[in-house]
Amino acid sequence: MIKKHLVADHIDKRVTYPGTNSKKYIVIHETANTRKGANANAHARLQASGNSRNASWHYTVDDKEIVQSFSDNAQCWHAGNKYYNQNSIGIEICVNSDGNFKKAVDNAVELTKQLMRKYNVPASRVIQHNQASGKNCPRYLRSGEKGVTWAQFKAKLSDKKTGSTSASKPVKKPSKPRKTTSKLTVDGKWGKDTTRALQRALGTPVDGIISGQLRNSVTTALYGGTVRYGSGGSPMVRALQRRVGAKVDGYLGPDTVRRLQRYLGTVQDGKLSRPSLGVKALQERLNSGKF
């Protein structure tokens, strides 16, 4: 049973984007508030009063109830990433010290399953806040230190006895990565066009920008303003790191380049020259659709 405590319109307008949420993803968070009494109702009251920071999320879940603060259509500010804010529903799990975390997780699972059924969201698009922005959230599910892990959370979304998922429609078997071809100029210069092609091949948002990066020998070797410096890392870089077997932290650096070079079969020195033979190999792969 979901209890509604929707914020007033003037608050809604202040802490959401003006568009309509596509609801393609569900992003799981933890409140990080361990104080006694910091339950779902307390966080709903916080949002209803305007919050103490520029943040908003749709649902808060504790061991006893689920409270909704914003319409599912609202583009709330919870993911630390504009794309996911505009295209996902945010669920916060309470971690108050006087609550039962495992029960709160179970309640969050049930809510997630309801939303999956309602909006036909596959389990592959139920993600951690960490995947959207690089933040260590949901902390306890990520570490497992409270007795339940992220892998267990995802497993609870499926009925293991019947083999069917919680979505109302049959879910297809995971498909092979989509083959996408590009028409890049093979010049060894990694700029926005190469970034867009790589984003399409990896299935991440396509904008030609590698966001949240540190300034290093690799990022300064890229062309055309494709890098946006800051923190949090890039969803595309995380997807690339998973593809090539590098440490997944969202930051493009020498180790990721070295793993990419090995993946492409080029010299493995962790460097990008201007232009680069490794980037030429990458461009050729992207053009052929075999990345």
The CATH number linked to 41 is 3.40.80.10
In a domain, 182, yes or no: no
Same domain, 196 and 152: no
Q: Are 195 and 213 in contact (CB under 8 A)?
A: no
- Tens digit of each residue's pLDDT (9 = 90 or more) over 58-88: 999 999 999 999 999 999 999 988 999 999 9
- Rounded distance, CA 270 to CA 262, Å? 10
Same domain, 24 and 96: yes
- Rounded distance, CA 180 to CA 63, Å? 44
Give 51 or 48, the one with higher predicted confidence: 48
Same domain, 133 and 214: no
Question: Where is mean pLDDT largest: 62-71, 151-160, 177-186?
Answer: 62-71
Q: What six digits make up the tokens of 263?
A: 């993946």
Among the candidates 131, 156, 181, a domain finishes at 156
* Segments in the chain forming alpha helices (H): 9-14, 40-48, 82-87, 101-119, 129-133, 139-143, 150-156, 192-202, 235-244, 254-264, 277-288
Among the candidates 135, 156, 177, a domain finishes at 156
Answer yes or no: is pLDDT of 186 > 50.
yes
- pTM confidence score: 0.59
In a domain, 176, yes or no: no
Same domain, 18 and 139: yes
Residue 240, domain extent: 192-288
In a domain, 166, yes or no: no
In a domain, 185, yes or no: no
Q: pLDDT over 70 for what percent of the chain?
A: 92
Same domain, 32 and 147: yes
- Tens digit of each residue's pLDDT (9 = 90 or more) over 220-231: 999 999 999 998
Answer yes or no: is pLDDT of 174 > 70.
no
Give the residue among 182, 286, 272, 284 at the shortest CA–CA distance from 240: 286
Answer yes or no: is pLDDT of 162 > 70.
no
Same domain, 70 and 205: no
Give, in degrees to the nearest 5, the angle at Cα 233 between 231 and 237. Answer: 160
Q: What pLDDT shows up at residue 159?
A: 53
pLDDT, the chain, mean: 89
Q: What pLDDT shows up at residue 60?
A: 98
Band (265; pLDDT cuts 50, 70, 90): confident
How many domains does the chain fold into?
A: 2
